[in-house]
Amino acid sequence: MRMTNLFFTTLRENPADAEVISHQLMVRAGYIRKLTSGIYTYLPLMWRVIRKISDIIREEMDKQGAQEIMMPILQPEELWQESGRWDVYGKELMRLEDRHGRMGALGPTHEEIITALVRDEVRSYRQLPVNLYQIQDKFRDEIRPRFGLLRGREFLMKDAYSFDSDETGLEASYQEMIEAYINIFNRCGLETRMVRSDTGAIGGSVSHEFMVLTRTASGENDVLYCDNCSYAANSNRAESRMIPANTNGGFSEAKEVDTPGVKSIDDLAVFFNIEPSSICKTLVYIADNRPVMALVRGDRAIEETKLKNALGANDIRIASSAETEELVNKPGFDTEAGFIGPSGVNVQIVGDKSICELENFVVGINKTDKHLTGANWGKDIQLPGKIADIRLAFAGDFCPECEGKLEITKGIEVGNIFKLGTKYSEKMKATFTDEEGQEKPFIMGCYGIGVTRTAAAAIERYHDKDGIQWPMAIAPYQAIVVPVNVNDELQMSTAEEIYNELCGKNIETVIDDRDERPGVKFKDADLIGFPIRITAGKTLSEGMVEIKVRSTGEMIKVPKGEAVTKTIELINLNHELAKTPL
């Protein structure tokens, strides 16, 4: 490809609406252009990256026996009603109505469609297992599309669905997909970690995410992982064993105490000269439009996804001050947010496991400027009927599976896998006949990879101040040849010779034949992220050309006749190159 023919424009300034590095660089380097909020056009450079990632995915999925299909984007309401998700999926579901008044949706995922397909096509256990996948646009009406291709309203995704006759079969399918995912991301040149995650709107019993660990502030998720074993989990799912703390307030008796203007946990700890860990924190939430209370040890925080799951709720948010005051402003109560407590309030209460250790503790009693000190469960205050792990795990906590400690890093989700079980097959009456002639529901799994997210995550992971540093396997082109001066006959003829020879050896190569200043060409090459740059310039007087390795910045001088051999050597040595050497 000649740069004079390539459809691209580079920009020197970051776009005003781009908050993360990948968004900034993809716009500046001429990979994407925004159409409207959360929706982008993929320009030729971007589409080459997407195709490469998609091809790697196809190869590894096919290797595991999965078969590619293509399902409709437009999905009828009836199937979503069958699964029970039409009313609970949320506002992210892009709904529409056709001219006949029939409701539908633009698919954010395809559990309903694939389940309907397989129930009509598969009748017997002899036809199992089945694993079907597609690579297709998905649509989600994000309330605030952000971060470019990391969170848009339209995006490209690989989604796969397995159907087995029993749990043993599902486990085998799950492990096959784990192997496929490890191979896919390794081949894409991405360091990932499989972490436990919340099942969310997809549902099921078990879920894992594959996270690109950015180790910078650019990641969108907190990932907690053990420094001693393989345990890792998204922060909304991570469990932990807490570091020992003083959970006994040391008060000799239960007593109502004036605490004028003392609302926060830290202020209470100072006021009573106790540790925050000997205070019971009370928070009010609105879960599916009803108020609930959550209790946690004072030095810990509530993890809202865990709380939502413990309540079996579809939606949850922290209550406003007005909603909190309305809840506790009943006869005999006089309070404001900051003094609330679990006693005498007729709402569902969920306590974190951490509160069970509290003794002689401090807690709000729904009276302004007053708290109860020296409280004990069962004697002075009732322990909540529901106790669950609803706290946020912290870095430094003990691992739940070994004696190691948890550390935290930033990660970007690029893939997820779910054990769905019979969540969809039972509701949608998708069954098969087993060996005994009995009708049973399919045991399902589903497996997603964000294709466009993977590209964006690669940029978040691999970039520097000058631009993108693509892993070799997914770079739009492997090399660029730069004649410094296109009007210099020797430079241009040498560049053309190297370019043609590389192309002849199936090296994806660009030649920068633009009549531009050298600085412009070099800046564009770094910004776009070509892994190898071969420069035909002043060193040709010595019979030499310069080769730059983008990922390391290494500059190598070689005789011009060895430029092609050296370039191929560098490509083959790159550990991120696809499995077949050139």
Residue 564 to residue 534: CA distance in whole angstroms: 9
Residue 76, pLDDT score? 97
CA distance 56 to 92: 29
The DSSP element (H or E) to which 544 belongs, if any, is strand 544-549
**Confidence (pLDDT) at 320:** 87
The whole-angstrom separation of Cα 285 and Cα 307 is 10
Q: Which residues make beta-bridge pairs with 132?
A: 67, 161
* Cβ count near 379 (within 10 Å): 9
Peptide bond into 518 cis (omega under 30): no
Q: Are 567 and 577 in contact (CB under 8 A)?
A: no
CB of 151 closer than 8 Å to CB of 145: yes
Exposure b/e, 16-35, CB count within 10 A at least 16 = b: eebebbbbbbbbbbbbbebe
Q: Decide if 219 contacts 411 (C-beta within 8 A).
A: yes
b or e along 278-298 (b: 16 or more beta carbons within 10 Å of the residue's beta carbon)? bbbbbbbbbbeeebbbbbbbb
SS3 content of the chain, % helix, strand, coil (to 5): 30, 30, 40
Q: Three-state DSSP class for 5?
A: coil
Separation CA 251–CA 562 (nearest Å): 82
Give the strand pairing for 406-421 and 443-450. Answer: antiparallel
Please give the Cα distance from 443 to 131 (Å, whole number): 12
What distance in Å separates the CA atoms of residue 70 and residue 135, rounded to the nearest whole number?
7
Class of domain 477-573 (CATH, top level): alpha beta
Q: What are phi and psi of 572, to 5 degrees?
A: -70, -30
Q: Which residues contact 397 (CB under 8 A, 6 or more apart)?
A: 224, 240, 241, 242, 243, 405, 406
Give the H/E segment covering residue 533.
strand 532-536
Q: Which pLDDT belongs to residue 86?
A: 93
CATH class, 255-388 region: alpha beta
What is the CB-side half-sphere exposure of residue 511 using CA atoms within 13 A? Answer: 19
Residues in a beta bridge with 432: 440
Q: Domain limits of the chain?
A: 53-239+407-461, 255-388, 477-573
**CATH code given to domain 53-239+407-461:** 3.30.930.10
Going by their DSSP bridges, the two strands 479-483 and 532-536 should be labelled as parallel
- Residues in contact with 250: Cβ distance below 8 Å, sequence separation at least 6, in sequence order: 274, 278, 360
pLDDT of residue 190: 93
Amino acid sitting at position 99: R
Residue that has been written with the tokens 């951490």 in this structure: 354
- Helix or strand (DSSP H, E) at 301: none
Q: Coil, helix or strand for 26?
A: helix
Would you give per-residue pLDDT tens digits along the chain (582 residues)? 999 999 999 999 999 888 899 999 999 999 999 999 999 999 999 999 999 999 999 999 999 999 999 999 999 999 999 999 998 888 899 999 999 999 999 999 999 999 999 999 999 999 999 999 999 999 999 888 878 999 899 999 999 999 999 999 999 999 999 999 999 999 999 988 888 776 555 555 678 999 998 765 566 778 899 999 988 888 888 999 998 999 999 999 999 999 999 989 999 999 999 999 999 999 999 999 999 999 999 999 999 999 998 998 888 999 988 888 777 776 666 666 678 999 888 899 999 999 999 999 999 998 989 999 999 999 999 999 899 999 999 999 999 999 999 999 888 999 999 999 999 999 999 999 999 999 999 999 999 999 999 999 999 999 999 999 999 999 999 999 999 999 999 999 999 999 999 999 999 999 999 999 999 999 999 999 999 999 999 999 999 999 999 999 999 999 999 999 999 999 988 754 444 433
